[in-house]
């Protein structure tokens, strides 16, 4: 619809311009060549201005859409994507090889109760920063709920996912959280196709691995082993 409007607008302006300058230039210039050059230059300028306006308008629309998308699918606290974005990904995702990391901040509720929600929010923000810094450009991380974070690693086999998960765990443990206690996380790892064939299946398996990691002492990475 926009292209049709642009096309009609440019044709209309071109015709108006041609009629105006034809009437203006013919009495002044008797040369057909000069007349054609004037009209051609005028058309070029008009087309350039229209195209420049259209590109600027299109760029503004894209910026507005990105801003709206960030508000709808972004988590303000951690800077990660939210659960709604993960659900959308689950509906549209089609990848034969991928891995899921299910991340949970250890003893977070006790930490919140003891040191306050402001301090707890700071922990979540720091953990989110670490995850964003470590995962690859094509990967996505989602705040699943509370202190739980899900990381979707596309085209990533389990052995590589475990390495990424361990790197995240170690880096989080090195966060300077003074004057509060150190931050630790537990991670569950599962992959497609060996642990399931959909994001939902693999997500459930990674959650199972996470729960076992918690039971085994926390602050560790554990892969699902069916």
Q: What amino acid positions are annotated as catalytic residues?
A: 147
Q: In what helix (H) or strand (E) does residue 100 lie, and over which residues does it extend?
A: strand 98-105
| Residue 182 DSSP class | P
Tokens of 193: 């196709």
Closest CA to 128 of 84, 66, 77: 77
Task: Report the C-alpha gap between 121 and 119 in whole angstroms.
Answer: 5
Tokens of 216: 């085994």
Q: What is the full DSSP assignment across 125-193?
A: HHHHHHHHHHS-TT-EEEEEETTEEEEEEET--HHHHHHHHHHHHHHHHT---TTSPPP-EEEEEEEET
């Amino acid at each position: 619809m926009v292209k049709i409007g642009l096309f009609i607008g440019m044709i209309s302006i071109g015709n108006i311009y041609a009629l105006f300058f034809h009437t203006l230039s013919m009495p002044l210039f008797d040369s057909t060549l000069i007349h054609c050059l004037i009209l051609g230059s005028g058309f070029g300028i008009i087309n350039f201005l229209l195209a420049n306006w259209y590109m600027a308008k299109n760029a503004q629309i894209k910026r507005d859409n990105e801003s709206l998308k960030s508000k709808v699918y972004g988590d303000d606290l951690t800077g990660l994507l939210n659960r709604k974005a993960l659900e959308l990904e689950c509906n549209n995702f089609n990848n034969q090889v991928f891995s899921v990391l299910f991340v949970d901040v250890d003893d977070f509720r006790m930490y919140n109760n003891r040191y306050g929600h402001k301090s707890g929010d700071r922990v979540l923000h720091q953990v989110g920063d670490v995850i964003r810094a470590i995962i690859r450009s094509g990967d996505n991380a989602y705040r699943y709920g509370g202190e739980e974070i899900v990381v979707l690693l596309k085209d990533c086999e389990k052995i590589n996912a475990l390495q990424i998960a361990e790197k995240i765990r170690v880096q989080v443990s090195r966060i300077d959280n003074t004057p509060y206690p150190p931050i630790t996380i537990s991670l569950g790892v599962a992959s497609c196709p060996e642990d399931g064939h959909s994001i939902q299946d693999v997500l459930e398996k990674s959650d199972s691995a996470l729960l076992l990691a918690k039971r085994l002492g926390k602050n560790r990475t554990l892969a699902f082993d069916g």
